[in-house]
Structure 1
Amino acid sequence: MTGCKVVAIGGSAGSIPVVAELLQALPANFQFTVIIILHRLKNVSSSMDTILAGKRSGIMIAEPDDKEVIEGNRVYLAPQNYHLLIEADKTISLDYSEPVHYSRPSIDVTFESVAQAYADKAVAVLLSGANPDGADGLLAIVSQGGMAIVQDPATAEYPAMPQAAIDRNRDVVILTPETIASFLHTLND
């Protein structure tokens, strides 16, 4: 895919090892933005940004502030207990509205806003998880001309999330974690 501006990666139960693998696969000088949306416990202290940063040196991984301007060559982690949306002016909006599929942050909410803001310059990746969050968001990505990738359910620790996306969207690309990693490595080409 040429001209990619953003890669949004969503996951829940069983997805953290795959997210770590994908971070390791990013090209050394990637120019696009990476947004990670992970379901996490709400009322427990989390150092997920530090944990993920330890998986790949040289990459800054941060939970963004509300109204922060999005930059390339950065990895943003949706803050715990907030929906992360991308505005048309390429700023981040944090939202505390109701959970979607029992989740805040919701993968659907972020993917849908990425589709609106980036259209055909977006890639969305949905990984292991135990609920259908992300399926509708992938549909939005595809409808705006972006690329939707789903982890092969046979390789997912919790296949419900990727399977829901496959059942809902016939235009998703089904890949193993290794193949997704290889694909991400080519995005700067």
Structure 2
Amino acid sequence: MTAGHPVRFPVVALVASAGGLDAFVHVLGSLPADLPAAVLVTQHLNPFRPSQLAAILAERTALRVAEAADGDRLVPGVALVAPAARHLLLTPEPRIVLVDSGALPPARPSADLLLATLAVTCGPRTLAVVLTGKGTDAQVGIRAVARCGGTVFAQDEQTSAHFGMPGAAIATGLVGSVLSLPEIAEAIIAHVGASARPDRGLARAVGATPGNEEPPLP
């Protein structure tokens, strides 16, 4: 366990806006089912329409995929997707908390809110991956990730459908690696493998210490 942080495994946050579906499919589709990291996915969505993002991604990756619900725990090998019109945050336990987005901020769900709470909860276990999208959402969040010892990747301009979000991330000077879309999954796997190596048994359901079990999603 990393001192001061309850999470004993890496957590990967994929954030995007316009063009995000194709980017998510490309990245998640290349990740193995036994990835020793929890995955969180956030894309700006129309708050007035039901989202099919989780259902689509579930068909394109070996990871287990579910739309996030209040109280969900982070589990290695499971990708939780932020629902439309809800911001996804993390509590110190850590558990998922969903907050109605309301009229503001315009980025819904907010990458900044997710990354800021993830940074505080997971510290150096955090890997934030900023993918294609318009606007500057995630710029504040990656400042928190970097400040708390986490790592940031960003998609390069050439392979981004829209370079607003990754460009804003890169402009902070806090992005560890700027990668083409085909390179991102391999980089995630390498980073997660290096981060998880000090802890044994991460490929199993996390729960090596009695009383601290992380049950799988129902």
TM-score (norm 1): 0.91
Partner of 1:86: 90
Q: Which amino acid aligns with 1:90?
A: P
2:34 to 29, 33, 41: 29
Shift of 1:132: 0.5
Any stretches of 5+ residues in structure 1 without a counterpart?
A: none
Cα distance in 1, alignment partners of residues 103 and 139 from structure 2: 16
Partner of 2:131: 127
1:166 to 143, 164, 170: 170
Contact 1:141-1:147 at 8 Å conserved across structures: yes
1:65 to 65, 69, 88: 69
Shift of 1:179: 1.6
Aligned residue for 2:187, secondary structure, equals helix
Deviations 1:14-48 (A, max 9, x none): 12111111112213311210000011111112211
Equivalent runs, 1:88-127 vs 2, <5 Å:
88-98=92-102, 101-127=105-131
Percent identity (aligned)? 29
1:137 to 141, 145, 161: 141
Structure with max Cα Rg:
2
Cα distance in 2, alignment partners of residues 98 and 158 from structure 1: 25
Deviations 1:115-172 (A, max 9, x none): 00000011000011111001111111111110011111222111111111112x2120
TM-score (norm 2): 0.80
- 1:41 matched to 2:46: yes
Cα distance in 2, alignment partners of residues 166 and 101 from structure 1: 22
1:176 to 180, 184, 198: 180
Deviations 1:92-112 (A, max 9, x none): 011115455502210000010
Would you identify which runs of 4 or more consecutive aligned residues in structure 1 move more than 3 Å? 97-101
Partner of 1:77: 81
